[in-house]
Structure 1
Amino acid sequence: MTEEEKKSILSDEKAKEMEQQAEVASTARDLKGIVKIAFVVIAVVGALFHLIVLNFYPIDPWLFRSIHLAFGAILALMLFKGSKKGTNRVSIIDWALILGIIFITAYIYMNLTTLLFRFGVMPTAMDSFVALLGLVIVFEITRRTSGWTLPILASVFIAYAFLGPYLPGILNHRGYSWDRFVTYIFGLDGVFGVTLDVSSKYILLFIIFGAFLQMSGVGRYFIDFSFSLAGGMRGGPAKVSVLSSGLMGMMNGTSAGNAVATGSLTIPLMRRVGYPGRFAAATEATASAGGQIMVPIMGAGAFIMAEITGIRYHEIIIAATIPALLYFLSVYFMVDFQAIKSGMRGLPRKELPSLKGVFKQAYLFIPIILLIGSLLSGYSVIRSGTVAIIACLIISWVTPDNKMGPKKVIEALVLGMKNTIQLLAVCATAGVIVGVIALTGVGQRFSSMLLGIADTNMLLALVFAMCISIILGMGMPTTAAYAVAASVVAPGLVSMGIPLLTAHMFVFYFAVMSAITPPVALAAYAAAGVAGTDPFKTGITAFKLGIAAFVVPYMFYYSPQLMMEGSGGGIALAVVTAAIGIYFLAAAVQGWFAKKEAGVIVRVLLIAAALCLINANLLFDAIAASIIIVAILYQKMIQKDKDDDISKKESIA
């Protein structure tokens, strides 16, 4: 074994430990014997089925999505217990539900042509029974994989479909019969709508890609690369957390999952160099949430955005690049200020992966480079993702320790399907909410309300839209949070005259930020579990660390140059002023400016300057510069007074 390999921060043993910790955090069963073999066979067949259909033999969309849901439901019912106290054996109820989803899929296959005309219009009694059974199974697998939040929210929306005739104002609608409603929601406008479409085509593909990255050693290289680059800096492990969570989180699909996976490594190291446990957990949570907005994959949210808006995928990732970098820059400033205040140092160079060894293995970035290159060259998302998967396989053959033979390929396919289960369930349940919104027209009514507020004050309308997006997203994975918020809030922003992509990016960012917004901050709670800290207090700290991310979306409207609109000079100026504004905001939050602790007055001045820099306008830039000059002079005056007081005390002594 070479010296570089010995110095790999993320050893195979550590990787296994991380996986075990993530497993313990869930209600997953430890499958054994014939059941485990069946699980592996079903997972491999499911993964290959999707790859073959997507690349070579397309089938009817409804049939494809129903088979996609069937594979996910069967695997979920086998893998996840009905409760934390449930036995390790697959229960009779689980087998009954598995037979139920198989029956539903067969029913859709055999009656496909007629169901297209019957569902939601003139359903039969059997149609209604199949739809109801399907909804029960979808809600159950979502509850097992993601908790009660999303099923309860979906149930509230279902109740609204029937209570609408009795509600006042914008919530009123004419109501629907049970048969028509349940078959509509379990059709192509609900469960099998745009969210499950994205899950079946894009999310599954890129989660399998992430599994191949992990099995081929590329995922481990990302973390080694982050450690070699930033581990030796002051407060190094925190900066490693920012880098590695961005690289790994964009393919993870959930902020909480990313926080557990990378946090089990970075949080103990952050505590070792002096960060308090709560700050360490909050840093990991904030960075993990940011992984959901990191290009080019953006935690699968970009795929849903492309489907909903009709905007080409590569246009979305180009527009999202600068905002994503600004987000991670803000988190970097936060942890750096904390390190300066606490006098922290990085890890010793001897404990870090060799820079020379890491750069020698730079070829491990090839799958990501190929993916980005293919997307920007105009190839389809499916073709680009498939090429990236094949690239991982080929790259693994260059590194003997990670060479992927048949066994590892099977493990990667199984891991990919296993990691897809939660997002698949979430997308199916989110489809229920999206379907109710479309059926009742409540989204259009919210749009009218936002438009009315905008007539009074555009900023107030944006703040209102932000609050709704965060509230709707609390307790939900990013993909579901965005899908719901995009149906309720985005149309209202568009009606206010905000460009389509800007409106959806605004909503998407705040859907992501709901993962670190108390009182229900999923990513912060997950990281707190790893660190052993108080979840709510960790959520408060994560909110503070990510505060700049609550400002960035407003820049989309006031500084459209940040989304690559306008001239090169205008874009460059907007990026520079936005970066400076984020620096001042981080300084205000952390109370550190001009190499000294900042008092209340200086903090207020810094916040004022940061807000002025939101707008890419030379007048506001000049005002911000004036405010900063005042802050610097005031800071020096306060320091001079302190120095004079110290001198007087010394002279008296």
Structure 2
Amino acid sequence: MSHTPESRDDASRDDVVETVNAEGVDEAAVESNRRLYTGWQWLLFGALAIAYSGFHLVSLNVYPLETWSFRIVHIAGALILGYGLYAGTRFADEDERRSATWLAWVSYAMLVPALYALVRVVMMYQAMSGGAMRIAPEIEAWHFGYPLILATAAGILLAWSYRQFRDRLSPADLVLMVCALAVAGYLLVMFNSPLRASTGTSFAPMGISYAAIAGSLLILELTRRVAGLALVVISAIFLVYVFAGPYLPGFLGYPGLSVGRFFSQVYTDAGILGPTTAVSSTYIILFIIFAAFLQASKVGDYFVNFAFAAAGRARGGPAKVSIFASGLMGMINGTSAGNVVSTGSLTIPLMMKVGYPGRSAGAIEAAASTGGQIMPPIMGAGAFIMAEITGIPYTEIAVAALIPAILYFASVYFMVDFEAARKGMRGMRKDEIPLFSKLVKQVYLFAPIIILIAALFMGYSVIRAGTLATASAAVVSWFSPHKMGIPAILRALQLAGTMAIQIIAVCACAGLIVGVISLTGVGARFSSLLLGLAGVSQLLALFFAMCISILLGMGMPTTAAYAVAASVVAPGLINIGIQPLVAHFFVFYFAVVSAITPPVALASYAAAGISGDNAMGTSVASFKIGLAAFIVPFMFFYSPAMLMEGSWMQILRVGVTATLGIVLLAATVQAWFFGPVKAWQRLVMLLGALCMIYGGIYSDIAGLAIGALMFLMQRGRHGGGGKAVAAG
């Protein structure tokens, strides 16, 4: 779709476009299975969400709870809120409102065993408080375990079986809420007694296993509702492996675990209450509250308007705005697909307006939004899990991520720029974008993020820095048109409680997988397989690790994708001699880019939904635009200076030459530098790009020589045109 300069000028005059003004970027999307309450139910669930967010702020800053108890309450709160707000099936239309009334009555009947199990938990608490050493096994089985599992399984099946009302709570989901309360109550009683030490042994009360089975079912079902089937299917495969392992051949085989031994351990810090929940209950929930406060003060709208003002007039303007805005929004948005929905609803239609095909527009937004997950200082939520698993300070991880993030966004930027030049696309007119001079006067809205970064590098803990940044967001809002009073603060807390449900469910579900890996030892067997491959070729071992990381991450949010891949792949990479930071960044990058990797690319699919183009075509195009992200992680191994490991001169050299290599790579993919690039020139440029991205001193010299030669050839051939293009 190429245009001459004259035709583009005519199009510019003919288009009557109002000035872009981003509004509603901060509004949370309402999912198709999300309930919208009115009246007392709206008040009830709003109050529950506020109380849930408030509980975390108080526990993290004022009155800390015992660790396991805190995490159990953290998961239970998300389950209760999740089942209250998200339905298990689509909502009924008018014709279906009277159907399956008998199923609703069956659901009410299932409240009896659920409530009975809950009452029994209270009685067990009284018995243990009165000096009992343990509860009789038959009481745990017949009066707690069996009724609880019956009610949980029946509640889930009933929630699938009939259409529900959007404006009221389903009785089946009420059953599941009571079951979540019973699971949490029992575990709190047992884990705050000497019986906590018996988990994983033949002396463990079977009640722990019953509670863990019901709790695992509740987590899997809520994950299905809020994040789709991908993670649930992977979790189910891992759970089947626990009991099928003894019958499997080769390196997958292991002696096996009984139901009691496995489930008495999986709901401890070896699994569900382990690293993923440790992070979701501290750093992630805190930064979700921070993001909610930023949204309440309309900072997201400001970020996007600022991006339009800064980059809108450049060649292919809305595409470059997308890169800038998605990088900023990625700091306050924990998922690639969520980032696409928030910024893409504005940038994708504008990209299409200036000449980008729907496929390219969607692919650019998907690639840019995925990059938001690797953008310091917040990096989605994966960086917090990395800090928790590796023990490396969070600030060190954020600094190490700087050069890779620059390379990724430089790659996407030049891919976009060269495509815009090749297709002759215009930027936006001055009257189409917000006034930069006006937006500069509100630059103080960046203050909360600056305070967050400053506090982290001044040595404050992540929790203290996040709390200060959250408070500063409320203070800064008083200098903007969107002042946050008590009602706005309560709305922000309510929004945070709602936003947290998906990520907490995903982290708990990922914890289930982590539990299987640690309790069965499959991670160690995978490490030995990688070690064997490394004996043949380290590059082959890295390629295999890349494939597994992407495969495990497909269809999953960043947090879960990284947590699972870090448990399976990272230990193997460390065993073949790779530094822990390098190994975890390698896995993290590929877990992140699984969002734009065909055939299951969540971010690309979300973008295709907005652009109206084919989902698979969009994912292939976004894979091409984000190509650098598939090359750069290999360079972590060959050139650790990319992760700030080494002297400043090494880091500077590697950073500069790798960036120039990324420019050549983008020119190779788009077949455009200062003008059209021939096939043989593309091969030479690809060689030069890989030499400079590789990072060795001799390869850098060779890459710079090739780059300089291609630059002179292109300038000589397209000198006049090059100037015209560069001015775009």
TM > 0.5: yes
| 8 Å contact from structure 1 (residues 142, 426) kept in 2 | yes
Compare CA radii of gyration and give the structure with the larger one: 2
For 1:321 and 1:37, locate their aligned partners in 2 and report how far apart those are by CA, in whole Å.
44
**2:22 corresponds to which letter in structure 1?**
L
Change (3 A) 1:632 1:241: closer
CA positional deviation for 1:323: 0.9
Aligned to 1:441: 521
| 8 Å contact from structure 2 (residues 662, 693) kept in 1 | no
CA positional deviation for 1:604: 1.7
Could you report, residue by residue, the CA deviation over 1:279-334 in whole angstroms, capped at 9, with x for unpaired residues? 11111111111111111111011110000000011111011111111111111111
SS at 1:298's partner residue? coil
Aligned equivalent of 1:172, options 248, 253, 261: 253
For 1:324 and 1:159, locate their aligned partners in 2 and report how far apart those are by CA, in whole Å.
38
Aligned to 2:3: none
For 1:299 and 1:220, locate their aligned partners in 2 and report how far apart those are by CA, in whole Å.
19
**1:557 corresponds to which letter in structure 2?**
F
| 8 Å contact from structure 1 (residues 559, 614) kept in 2 | no
**2:47 corresponds to which letter in structure 1?**
V
Aligned to 1:416: 496
SS at 2:694's partner residue? coil
SS at 1:275's partner residue? coil
1:54 aligns with 2:60: yes
The aligned runs of 1:478-517 (5 Å cut-off) are: 478-517=558-597
**2:188 corresponds to which letter in structure 1?**
Y
For 2:527 and 2:402, locate their aligned partners in 1 and report how far apart those are by CA, in whole Å.
28
Aligned to 1:604: 683
Aligned to 1:247: 328
Aligned to 1:23: 30
Aligned equivalent of 1:72, options 43, 67, 78: 78
**1:602 corresponds to which letter in structure 2?**
Q
Aligned to 1:624: 703
Aligned to 1:317: 398
1:539 aligns with 2:640: no
For 2:542 and 2:188, locate their aligned partners in 1 and report how far apart those are by CA, in whole Å.
45
Aligned to 1:38: 44
Change (3 A) 1:174 1:252: same
**1:617 corresponds to which letter in structure 2?**
G
CA positional deviation for 1:629: 5.5
Aligned equivalent of 2:547, options 455, 458, 467: 467
**1:225 corresponds to which letter in structure 2?**
F
Aligned to 1:63: 69
**1:176 corresponds to which letter in structure 2?**
L
For 2:537 and 2:188, locate their aligned partners in 1 and report how far apart those are by CA, in whole Å.
52
| 8 Å contact from structure 1 (residues 602, 634) kept in 2 | no
CA positional deviation for 1:343: 1.1
Aligned to 1:209: 290
CA positional deviation for 1:628: 3.7
For 1:205 and 1:586, locate their aligned partners in 2 and report how far apart those are by CA, in whole Å.
38
For 2:66 and 2:348, locate their aligned partners in 1 and report how far apart those are by CA, in whole Å.
46
Q: Which runs of 4+ in 1 moved over 3 A?
A: 625-640
CA positional deviation for 1:260: 0.8
Among the aligned pairs, what percent are the same residue?
52
Number of residue pairs aligned between Structure 1 and Structure 2 = 627
For 1:269 and 1:322, locate their aligned partners in 2 and report how far apart those are by CA, in whole Å.
30
Aligned to 2:608: 528
Aligned to 1:103: 182
For 1:519 and 1:465, locate their aligned partners in 2 and report how far apart those are by CA, in whole Å.
18
The aligned runs of 1:85-124 (5 Å cut-off) are: 85=91, 86-87=163-164, 88=166, 89-112=168-191, 113-121=193-201, 122-124=203-205
Could you report, residue by residue, the CA deviation over 1:164-196 in whole angstroms, capped at 9, with x for unpaired residues? 111111101100101111221122211111101
Aligned to 2:144: none
CA positional deviation for 1:49: 0.6
For 1:249 and 1:509, locate their aligned partners in 2 and report how far apart those are by CA, in whole Å.
15
Aligned equivalent of 1:190, options 253, 271, 274: 271
SS at 1:268's partner residue? helix
**1:463 corresponds to which letter in structure 2?**
F
1:356 aligns with 2:430: no
Unaligned runs of 5+ in 2: 1-17, 92-162, 720-728
For 2:351 and 2:717, locate their aligned partners in 1 and report how far apart those are by CA, in whole Å.
33
1:369 aligns with 2:381: no
Aligned to 2:314: 233
1:305 aligns with 2:386: yes
CA positional deviation for 1:7: 6.4
CA positional deviation for 1:226: 0.7
Unaligned runs of 5+ in 1: 1-5, 641-653
SS at 2:693's partner residue? coil
For 2:708 and 2:427, locate their aligned partners in 1 and report how far apart those are by CA, in whole Å.
32
Could you report, residue by residue, the CA deviation over 1:546-569 in whole angstroms, capped at 9, with x for unpaired residues? 001111111211221111122222
For 1:198 and 1:635, locate their aligned partners in 2 and report how far apart those are by CA, in whole Å.
51
**1:255 corresponds to which letter in structure 2?**
S
The TM-score, its normalising length taken from structure 1, stands at 0.93
For 1:290 and 1:428, locate their aligned partners in 2 and report how far apart those are by CA, in whole Å.
25
For 2:662 and 2:325, locate their aligned partners in 1 and report how far apart those are by CA, in whole Å.
21
Could you report, residue by residue, the CA deviation over 1:405-441 in whole angstroms, capped at 9, with x for unpaired residues? 1111111111111111111000000001111111111
For 1:569 and 1:131, locate their aligned partners in 2 and report how far apart those are by CA, in whole Å.
53
Could you report, residue by residue, the CA deviation over 1:378-424 in whole angstroms, capped at 9, with x for unpaired residues? 1100000000000000001111x200011111111111111111110
Aligned to 1:567: 647
1:553 aligns with 2:633: yes
**1:339 corresponds to which letter in structure 2?**
A
For 1:174 and 1:627, locate their aligned partners in 2 and report how far apart those are by CA, in whole Å.
57
**2:87 corresponds to which letter in structure 1?**
K
Alpha-carbon RMSD: 1.8
Aligned equivalent of 1:82, options 67, 72, 88: 88
**1:47 corresponds to which letter in structure 2?**
S
SS at 1:111's partner residue? helix
SS at 2:479's partner residue? coil
CA positional deviation for 1:635: 6.5
1:432 aligns with 2:512: yes
The aligned runs of 1:255-266 (5 Å cut-off) are: 255-266=336-347
CA positional deviation for 1:114: 3.6
1:395 aligns with 2:476: yes
| 8 Å contact from structure 2 (residues 692, 704) kept in 1 | no
The aligned runs of 1:373-388 (5 Å cut-off) are: 373-388=454-469
Aligned equivalent of 1:10, options 19, 22, 25: 22
CA positional deviation for 1:630: 5.9
Aligned to 1:614: 693
Aligned to 2:415: 334
For 1:627 and 1:452, locate their aligned partners in 2 and report how far apart those are by CA, in whole Å.
37
Could you report, residue by residue, the CA deviation over 1:515-550 in whole angstroms, capped at 9, with x for unpaired residues? 000000000001111111111110000000000111
Aligned to 1:127: 208
Please identify, of 517-526 and 176-185, the stretch whose mean Cα deviation from structure 2 is larger: 176-185
Change (3 A) 1:639 1:365: closer
Could you report, residue by residue, the CA deviation over 1:232-267 in whole angstroms, capped at 9, with x for unpaired residues? 111111111111111111221111111111111111
Change (3 A) 1:637 1:357: closer
For 2:320 and 2:374, locate their aligned partners in 1 and report how far apart those are by CA, in whole Å.
18
**1:591 corresponds to which letter in structure 2?**
A
SS at 1:181's partner residue? helix
1:289 aligns with 2:301: no
For 2:501 and 2:679, locate their aligned partners in 1 and report how far apart those are by CA, in whole Å.
48
**1:412 corresponds to which letter in structure 2?**
A
**1:433 corresponds to which letter in structure 2?**
I
